[in-house]
Amino acid sequence: MSDATDERPPARTRSFTRRGGRMLKQSHQDAWDRYADVLVLDVPRPPGGSTSVDPAYRVDPAQVFGRSAPMVVEIGCGSGDALVHAATQRPDWDFLALEVWRPGIGHAMAKMGEALPNVRFVEADAALALQTLLPPASAHEVWTFFPDPWPKNKHHKRRLVSPEFATTVADLVPPGGLWRLATDWGDYARAMRRVLDAHPSWELDSRERAPLRPQTRFERRGREADREIVDLAYRRT
């Protein structure tokens, strides 16, 4: 084996899998065709990076939404239950959703009766993209609801909530801003607490249900399996 092969850096540990490929159900494809040109940001990609964003690119929220308003960044909007509900309830806020799974974006858009002017999507790996995508302190709140729990011990390193990602999120919100999380896996909830309680930029603010979080399909599955739903809100110090 050559020295060049020996020096190849290891692949980055990802917190997601591309479930089910990129094919959309017809109703979701119809919604994508109807709304994507307006709602999905056309971000530049590095060579070979289908889930990455060029690190030199920055989103200007005021330019994207056409106004200055409190902005919520949702990491992994899934099928859009929380996103569409919250954007409908709070038209005075803007919502930027990062979702690596295109069918999820299509599903979210299919839940809209019409394009919501205060919603935008970025199809990208949030753990990587958020290191450079947004200006510092530009988010009013960050949401991470029901991230993949990676329940097997050998997969815990893939969990999104880590000390490194906590630092990335801390850069997104000003002092007093919130990071809202929810999970139906007790072990993951305890791991979140360990990470964020030990992080110098975060302090626990609440364990109450997030005011704008509706019951999602992930929550329903958790309750059907008799798992406790844990909500956490951490405040940026």
Say what the pLDDT of residue 13 is.
Answer: 47
- Record the pTM: 0.89
Q: Give the pLDDT mean for 138-148.
A: 97
In this prediction, residue 22 carries a pLDDT of: 60
CATH number of 136-237: 3.40.50.150, 3.30.465.10, 3.40.50.1370, 3.40.50.2300?
Answer: 3.40.50.150
Distance from chain centroid for Cα 100: 9
In the predicted structure, residue 5 carries a pLDDT above the cut 80: no
Distance CA 166, CA 185 (A): 19
Query: How confident is the model over 89-141, as pLDDT tens digits?
Result: 999 999 999 999 999 999 999 999 899 999 999 999 999 999 999 999 999 99
Beta pairing, strands 230-236 & 178-183: antiparallel
* DSSP 3-state of 162: coil
- Please give the average per-residue pLDDT across 210-236, as a whole number: 93
CA 105 vs CA 39, 60, 185, 229: distances in Å: 10, 21, 24, 24
Tens digits of residue pLDDT in 11-52: 444 544 444 446 789 999 999 999 999 999 999 999 987 889
Give the total residue count for the chain. Answer: 237
Q: What is the strand order of the sheet 141-145 is part of?
A: 119-122, 94-98, 71-75, 141-145, 178-183, 230-236, 202-206
Indicate which residues carry an active-site annotation: 148
